[in-house]
A = this chain, B = another copy of it.
Amino acid sequence: MKEQQQREAATALLFSVSDANFRAVEIQCLKKMESHPKNVGILAMEVYFPTTCVQQGALETFDGASKGKYTIGLGQDCMTFCTDLEDVISMSLTVVTSLLEKYAIDPMQIGRLEVGSETVIDKSKSIKTWLMWIFEKCGNTEIEGVDSTNACYGGTAALFNCVNWVESSSWDGRYGLVVSTDSAVYAEGPARPTGGAAAIAMLIGPNAPIAFENKYRGTHMAHAYDFYKPDLASEYPVVDGKLSQNCYLMALDSCYNRFCNKFKKRDGRQFSLLDADYVALHSPYNKLVQKSFARLFFNDFLRHASSVGSNIQEKLEPYAGLSEEESYSSRELEKVSQQVAKPLYDAKVQPSTFLPKQVGNMYTASLYAALASIIHNKHGSLKGQRVLMFSYGSGLASTMFSLKIREGQHPFTVSNIAEVMNLQSKLDSRHEFAPEDFVDNLKLMETRYGAKDFVSYSQHDFLRPGTFYLTKVDSMYRRFYAQKLISPNDNCGEPKLANGIKHY
């Protein structure tokens, strides 16, 4: 009704102007629509994680855990961690520098830079300001954006902010850049094997090969104490494992429900998992991703969606009457739904689990490591496909959204992104630590967190060329970083000291 009125009003307006004006308005109008950025999304990606890692199999033996507790129970293969040479600042310096170089992006062309992280090195100074060093030396200090914080959700918040900026009237035509980075470490106990460390950089702009489908977004936010960091002097979080998992699954249900409703409203038909070619879920550990996908499948069953065939319906029927609360705690439902969802899981989810299983929980970077894994595994056949994404941060903030893969233009194509990220080679060049050395490193890091007046002393051998690393923290807590030479010829004379960052 309202639309009809609008249409009539517009038509009346049109016929009231002279023909010449009419053309002028039309041209202006088309120009405006043309200039409005379309298919805004991720143009380019780069992934960085430390080379230092520990095998989950070795760790479970060392911890005296039952065989398979970490590798099958959690579903994790390996875990990356920072030595005292690396932190979220150094990892971000590395990944941003690498992205700019590998895609040949002029640093002057960055108009916005945002960081999502829950690893706090300073409570006031944003990680983004440390990254300004890269841009200041090129003369670019006009870069909007700061850090976004809420547990593992900060990267998604930064990404949405950046995409919105490109679509807003304050966009100045330059690229946005988002960095998701965290170092996830836990106190001794059951959560310790669910750590990880990484930084992922994403270049944002229009006509992207990985474009946002903004209108389907489903968000769920609430107040919860499932995982938080109230002990300010400690790097370790306070975790309620069971509550955390329940909050995650409830948020997943709510977001999926909202996503499906919006899809139906706009597309006039029901959404099912068959409408997603790939599904990337925030991955604290792989087992939760398996459970979560089964939960989405159970949702499809409850909504009588097309993804659930009649033979499967029969198997899930006994659980149709469970209350929501019961359905979260029913082991039987968990088992059966995972079984029946398995073929779809293998096709749609498994390709996303590559990096999260190898590197561990990267908090804000975790979901984007899943996306990177899909690109790594499937870049040749992604065109036109939809990736369903679920971002979750304890506390809690969560969103389900979707991306559409497009052809793009070199260097902004998924094939080139896969080549640049070069994940397999990065994984192959890692250095395995014995569990006891991993634990010793954590003990060292406990003394370094929030500390001043120290010099880092781990071996540089483990760093790949081009990696930034912490050299020292002075008596005023100022942090000094250097970059490992890419080749011996890079060293043009004396090391340079720039604004607290040493650069060879």
Chain A residues close to B by CB (< 8 Å): 6-7, 10-11, 13-14, 22-23, 25-27, 29-34, 40, 118, 120-126, 128-133, 136, 141-151, 153-154, 157, 160-161, 163-165, 167-170, 212, 214-215, 217-225, 227-233, 237-238, 254, 258, 393-397, 399, 449-450, 452, 476-478, 499-501
A123 touches B129 (CB 8 A): no
B residues in contact with A148, CB < 8 Å: 146-149
Minimum C-beta distance from A200 to chain B (A): 18
B residues in contact with A228, CB < 8 Å: 122, 124-125, 477
A395 touches B124 (CB 8 A): yes
A221 touches B168 (CB 8 A): no
Docked CA distance A393–B144 (Å): 12
B residues in contact with A394, CB < 8 Å: 124-125
11 other A-B residue contacts (CB within 8 Å) besides A6-B34, A14-B23, A161-B164: A10-B27, A25-B30, A29-B33, A122-B229, A123-B232, A124-B228, A126-B395, A129-B150, A167-B168, A222-B499, A230-B477
B residues in contact with A452, CB < 8 Å: 230
A-B contact pairs, 19 of them (CB 8 A): A10-B26, A26-B29, A29-B33, A122-B229, A123-B230, A124-B150, A126-B395, A129-B150, A129-B396, A146-B153, A148-B148, A163-B170, A170-B214, A170-B215, A170-B217, A223-B500, A228-B477, A232-B233, A233-B450
The 4 closest A-B pairs by CB, nearest first: A230-B477, A125-B395, A146-B150, A164-B168
Docked CA distance A148–B123 (Å): 12
Instruction: State whether A222 and B136 are in contact (beta carbons under 8 Å apart), knowing that A27-B14, A229-B125 are contacts in the complex.
Output: yes
A146 touches B154 (CB 8 A): yes
A23 touches B11 (CB 8 A): yes
Docked CA distance A150–B170 (Å): 20
B residues in contact with A136, CB < 8 Å: 222-223
With CB as the reference atom, state the residue of chain B lying closest to A40: B169
B165 touches A150 (CB 8 A): no
B residues in contact with A169, CB < 8 Å: 40, 167, 214-215
B residues in contact with A217, CB < 8 Å: 170
Cβ contact of A132, chosen from B31, B123, B161, B223, cutoff 8 A: B223
With CB as the reference atom, state the residue of chain B lying closest to A32: B33
A26 touches B26 (CB 8 A): yes
Cβ contact of A232, chosen from B126, B132, B232, cutoff 8 A: B232
B residues in contact with A237, CB < 8 Å: 124
B residues in contact with A144, CB < 8 Å: 160, 219, 221, 399
Docked CA distance A450–B121 (Å): 16
Docked CA distance A161–B176 (Å): 13
Cβ contact of A170, chosen from B26, B147, B164, B221, cutoff 8 A: B164
B129 touches A395 (CB 8 A): yes
B residues in contact with A123, CB < 8 Å: 118, 120, 123, 229-230, 232
Cβ contact of A230, chosen from B29, B121, B157, cutoff 8 A: B121
Docked CA distance A23–B157 (Å): 40
B residues in contact with A30, CB < 8 Å: 10, 13-14, 25, 29
A476 touches B238 (CB 8 A): yes
Docked CA distance A6–B490 (Å): 45
Minimum C-beta distance from A430 to chain B (A): 27
Cβ contact of A147, chosen from B6, B150, B160, B399, cutoff 8 A: B150
B164 touches A157 (CB 8 A): no
Minimum C-beta distance from A115 to chain B (A): 9
Minimum C-beta distance from A417 to chain B (A): 23
A7 touches B29 (CB 8 A): no
Docked CA distance A10–B30 (Å): 7
B26 touches A232 (CB 8 A): no
Docked CA distance A252–B148 (Å): 24
With CB as the reference atom, state the residue of chain B lying closest to A230: B477
A221 touches B149 (CB 8 A): no
B170 touches A397 (CB 8 A): no
Docked CA distance A154–B128 (Å): 12
